[in-house]
Amino acid sequence: MRRRSDEAAAHRRLAAPLSRLATSPALRRTLVQVAVAAVLGGLLVAAFLDVRSNMEARGIPTGFGFLDDPAGFDINQSLIAYSATSTYGRAFLVGLLNTCLVAAIGLVLSTLLGFLVGIARLSPNMLLRGLASAYVEGLRNVPLLLQLLFWYNAVLRPLPPPSEALLLPFGSALTNRGLYLPAPIAAQSLAPVALAALLGMGVAFVLFRRMRGRHGPAQGVRVAVIALALVLPPVLATAAFGWPVTFERPELGRFNYAGGLRLTPELVALVMGLSLYTAAFIAEVVRAGLEAVPRGQSEAAAALGLDASRTYRFVLIPQAMRLIVPLLTSQYLNLVKNSSLAVFVGYPDLVQVFAGTVLNQTGAAVQVVLVTMAVYLAISLVASAAMNLYNRRVALVER
């Protein structure tokens, strides 16, 4: 009898997990998710092995060893040292830096122009408002590729040769071979002046924190002391060690300009096209954000005696930023991804250099395309994370 009861108890202990599985929805969902993940993982592994075997059968590289092979081609613009004897890995880095350069310049220019045009769309001046509206509607509804081709083929290519260059202020020149600007050259005094400037910024920040909240006559003294702490150290360092930066002007030689900083027509066309196109969308985002701020805010600012510029600066734009930033993030990401159209104007960005020339020479299509996609994904994720941090900072916190 006792033996029979022990067997029943053991049977119940074995059946307990099955009964919990039958009665626990959370456990069932977990097991289903694990099973689906295992199936997907198996399919991915099988696909990877099949692709690798097919690549090996056709003599296509399956690893990343080709990055150490000599590239054998030149790149007409490089922010780092590069020659035809450099490796494919070096070529990849050149294309990546060129893409980052275009994205950085485009983000700054499109943001400044977009905010100006967005504010102009709400201007009481009918002419200014009409011009801003025409700009937005015109550029938003024309494909970006056509705009890039317009700037490159219709505006920059017909420019005069270097011998008949359009002379610009500060020794600059504009030709069909590019825009030539004075190039900044760091002097030996750059390090001490930079350290003095950092010291002044640190002291000014400490004074700002300690003197916060002072009003009336004390506010003027506060501003003067902070400004003096910010400006005096670099000025003294410059007087003691000399100017930290000198400029090399471009000089016309026998066939072309030499010296200075050269911006290629491809770079100028790409930056102008991306900046103007993205600025049209940013302008609409800014306009919508400003119109979402309650009208009573601007009326209250006018009642306090604030003019239009101060009303936008201190009242409307800070409140509108809570609505602008999320949509602004999408436009920034679009600009970064649209920079891949550089291949149509001949600018050596990541897509043209790595996913174009390197892919054609090595045949490593899978590796090259995956790396290119991963780079754009990483850039977009970093930009999105930075904008999300700023968005949390300006977001309205409910109490």
Reading the chain (399 residues) residue by residue, the pLDDT tens digits are 555 665 655 666 655 565 655 566 777 788 888 888 999 888 888 887 777 777 777 767 777 888 889 998 999 888 888 998 999 999 999 999 999 999 999 999 999 999 999 999 988 889 999 999 999 999 999 999 999 999 999 988 888 988 888 888 888 888 888 888 898 888 888 888 889 888 888 888 887 777 765 555 556 667 777 778 778 888 888 888 888 888 888 888 878 888 888 889 999 999 999 999 999 999 999 999 888 888 888 778 878 888 877 888 888 888 888 888 888 999 999 999 999 999 999 899 999 999 999 989 888 888 899 999 999 999 989 988 888 888 887 765 544
How far is it, in rounded angstroms, from Cα 301 to Cα 316?
A: 9
Q: Do residues 359 and 365 touch, judged by C-beta distance below 8 A?
A: yes
Tell me, what's the pLDDT at 397?
52
Q: What is the pLDDT of residue 275?
A: 96
* Alpha helical stretches, state H, 141-216: 144-149, 190-210
Task: Identify the pLDDT of residue 220.
Answer: 64
**What is residue 5's predicted lDDT score, i.e. its pLDDT?**
62
Question: Which residues share a beta bridge with 48?
Answer: none
pLDDT at 219: 61
Is 84 within 8 Å of 71 (Cβ atoms)? yes
Q: How many residues does the structure list for the chain?
A: 399
Phi, psi of 384 (to 5 degrees): -65, -40
316 close to 297: Cβ distance less than 8 angstroms:
yes
Torsion angle defined by CA atoms of residues 367, 369, 373 and 376, in that order, rounded to the nearest 10 degrees: 100
Cα 94 to Cα 358: distance, rounded to the nearest angstrom:
12
CATH topology of domain 88-182+249-394: MetI-like fold (1.10.3720)
Extents of the domains making up the chain:
2-53, 88-182+249-394
E strand intervals along the chain:
166-168, 172-175, 178-181, 183-186, 245-248, 251-252, 257-258, 261-263
Please report the pLDDT score of residue 399 as a whole number. Answer: 45
pLDDT at 374: 93
Three-class HEC string of 47-114: HHHHHHHHHHHCCCCCCCHHHHCECCCCCCCCCCCCCCCCEHHHHHHHHHHHHHHHHHHHHHHHHHHH
Asked whether the whole model's pTM tops 0.85, one would answer no
Q: How many CA atoms lie within 13 A of 287 on its CB side?
A: 19
Query: Of 48, 345, 342, whose CA–CA distance to 354 is shortest?
Result: 342
What distance in Å separates the CA atoms of residue 32 and residue 152, rounded to the nearest whole number? 55
Q: What is the pLDDT of residue 377?
A: 93
Beta bridge partners, 258, equal 251
Residue 240's pLDDT is 82
Contacts with 56 (C-beta within 8 Å, 6 or more apart), sequence order = 62
